[in-house]
Each structure stands twice: as C-alpha cells, then as structure tokens.
Amino acid sequence: MTEAPRLLELARIRRAFSPSVEPLAPGAEGKYAAVAAVLRSGPRGAEVLLIRRAEHEADPWSGHMAFPGGRYDESDRHLLETATRETREEVGLDLERSATLLGALDPLPAVARGRRVGMTIAPFLFELSEDVALEPNSEVVEVVWAELSELARGEKAVEVEYSLEGQKLLLPGWDVGGRVVWGLTYRMLSALLEAVRDAG
C-alpha cells in the first residue's frame, strides 16, 4: 500500500477506475439502492459531495451524512439510472449533463442499527464537468464538499460511540466540519481511497 499523498488529485482517482461499468440490473429478490459519489477539483485536491439527511423517525439513517442516492424504482432500467435519478431529485444535480462516470465501487449490504436490512447498495463514482448550483430538496438538510486528501491522511479520523444490544462500540469515522461521517458512507469512502492507494 502506498502512502497517502499530500494532495489527492482527480487525475489519480481517474486512473484507479474504469468508466466501463456494468449498469447492474437488480435481481428478482431483495431490495436495492444506488448512490453517487460525486467528485470535483478543489483548491486542495479532489473533493467529494456529501449530504446530511433530514430527520425522519421512520428513516434508520435519519440525520446521517451520506452520498446522494436512494432506493431502486421499477421505472429505473438499472441501478446506475437509480443513482442519477435520485441525485437529481435530492440535490438538483443532473449527472448525465454535468458529470462524467468514472466507475463503480463494489455493492455493499445495507446495515441499520447494527443489522443487515436485506438491501444492497451500489455506489457509482462521477466527476463534475462543470460548476453547478445545488438545490437540495426536503430530504436533504445541507450539502458539504469534503477534501479527500484530509480523509486519506487520517487527519479527520474520529471514533463514534454506538450502542448495540446494550454494548457500547467504538466505530471509525471522519469529522467533516463538525459533521461525522461513519457507517455505510465511511465504508464506501474507505473503499474509494483504498482503490486509489492500490492503483499507485
């Protein structure tokens, strides 16, 4: 594994992925969702778009930091279309017009309150091709751009105290401007950074 660079540039991320990805049509069983990890070039290297989800009692990820995205709908041809549709709905970003597909990360089983919920989440990676004004909908409290270099170097690493069946656990996370990124989004971002490190 190579050392994390001082600045993680988009060119290095592009080399680690291939845009020739299988769109992933959901199978007959189980539930599916897709998210978009949207990157842009910032003053200190690549930045990734994160949202803070609105508070909803029925939402197991209520208030969490996340990527834009959501559940597969039967009108979607595949999960890549789910990611683009949900991103347009949640933050007003048309990925087909304003971004380029860089690749995909491995799908992950969704976990809520310490248990798998029978849902598979497919993360897709995009690069913005133009400046855009984001327009969050009612599902999103705020949008934040996080510097990937800081995350890769571990400068923002924190531990999240989590209670599960009476046991207190310490889970890894990152502090992004006072907002804690952990859980599924932490795992996806970690996979992204690991792929870039392995690519050299």
> Can you give the pLDDT at residue 79?
93
Q: Please, which residues bridge with residue 52 across strands?
A: 65, 142
Amino acid identity of residue 112, one-letter, is: A
Q: What is the pLDDT of residues 138-183, one digit of tens each?
A: 999 999 999 999 999 998 999 988 766 677 888 899 999 999 999 9
Torsion angle in degrees (nearest 10) through CA of 79, 184, 157, 146 = 30
pLDDT at 1: 44
Residue 125 buriedness (CB in 10 A; 0-12 / 13-18 / 19+): buried
Read off the pLDDT of residues 71-119 as tens digits, 9 standing for 90 and up: 999 899 999 999 999 999 999 999 999 999 999 999 999 876 666 778 8
What does each C-alpha distance from 95 to 67, 146, 176 come to in angstroms? 14, 19, 24
Q: Which domains does the chain have, with CATH numbers?
A: 10-199 (3.90.79.10)
pTM of the model: 0.90
Position 21 scores a pLDDT of 78
Per-residue pLDDT of 12-69, as tens digits, reads: 999 999 988 776 677 656 689 999 999 999 999 999 999 999 877 666 666 789 999 9
Bridge-based pairing of strands 108-112 and 69-71 is unpaired
| 165 Ramachandran zone, left/alpha/beta (phi>0; psi -120 to 50) | left
